[in-house]
């Protein structure tokens, strides 16, 4: 999938610091950084490759009413999100690691295909699979996969943005139907 044009992310609007990855990041952090890079490339296959087959993905807080999704359900959900955005960029502010878990504070800026600005803030709590080894004769370690993702979003912004974008898209679809 082609990468959408990126908004200028040189200065995060939040004033938060920008995380600098260490020279030798952990395997879990390497997986997360690959995920963010895939988001910047808007590469659906690379995004989904970061998730384990046993994925459990939650968008929180629970008051948003979003369902818990397995990998197949999240793939379908994300297929519907990708066409909504013209621009999308993530800024990582902080990462805390412990064993098989990472907690991340991040924000994003972007623009919908209808020209609506998008800004959101996230806290992600991610549990990873154990890294696996390649075949015994190949000493390559595969990166772990994200198995459980708890993604806390700016609930007020998210609810408003996605509801209004869907209303706009429905209105456009209705006008197209009227002209047929």
Percent of the chain topping pLDDT 90 = 56
Compare 156 and 66 and report the one with higher pLDDT.
66
CB 143 within 8 A of CB 135: no
The CA distance from 78 to 160, in Å, is 18
Chain-centroid distance of CA 10 in Å reads 19
> What confidence score (pLDDT) does residue 180 get?
75
Nearest-angstrom CA–CA distance, 154 and 64: 10
pLDDT digits (tens, 9 = 90+) for 79-109: 988 888 888 999 999 999 999 999 999 999 9
For 140, residues 6+ apart whose C-beta sits below 8 A from its C-beta are 133, 134
Mind listing the pLDDT tens digit for each residue in 66-82?
Answer: 999 999 999 999 998 88
Which CATH number applies to 27-131+141-178? 3.10.450.50
């Amino acid at each position: 999938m082609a990468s959408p044009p990126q908004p200028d992310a040189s200065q995060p609007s939040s004033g938060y610091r920008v995380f600098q990855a260490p020279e030798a990041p952990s395997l879990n952090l390497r997986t997360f950084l690959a995920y963010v890079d895939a988001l910047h490339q808007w590469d659906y296959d690379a995004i989904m490759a970061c998730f384990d087959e046993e994925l459990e993905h939650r968008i929180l807080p629970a008051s948003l009413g979003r369902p818990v999704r397995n990998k197949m359900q999240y793939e379908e959900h994300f297929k519907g999100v990708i066409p909504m955005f013209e621009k999308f960029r993530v800024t990582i502010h902080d990462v805390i690691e412990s064993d098989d878990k990472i907690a991340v504070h991040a924000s994003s800026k972007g623009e919908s295909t209808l020209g609506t600005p998008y800004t959101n803030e996230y806290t992600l709590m991610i549990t990873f699979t154990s890294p696996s080894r390649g075949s015994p004769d190949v000493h390559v370690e595969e990166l772990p996969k994200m198995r459980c993702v708890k993604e806390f979003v700016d609930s007020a912004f998210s609810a408003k943005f996605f509801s209004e974008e869907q209303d706009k898209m429905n209105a456009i679809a209705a006008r197209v139907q009227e002209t047929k």
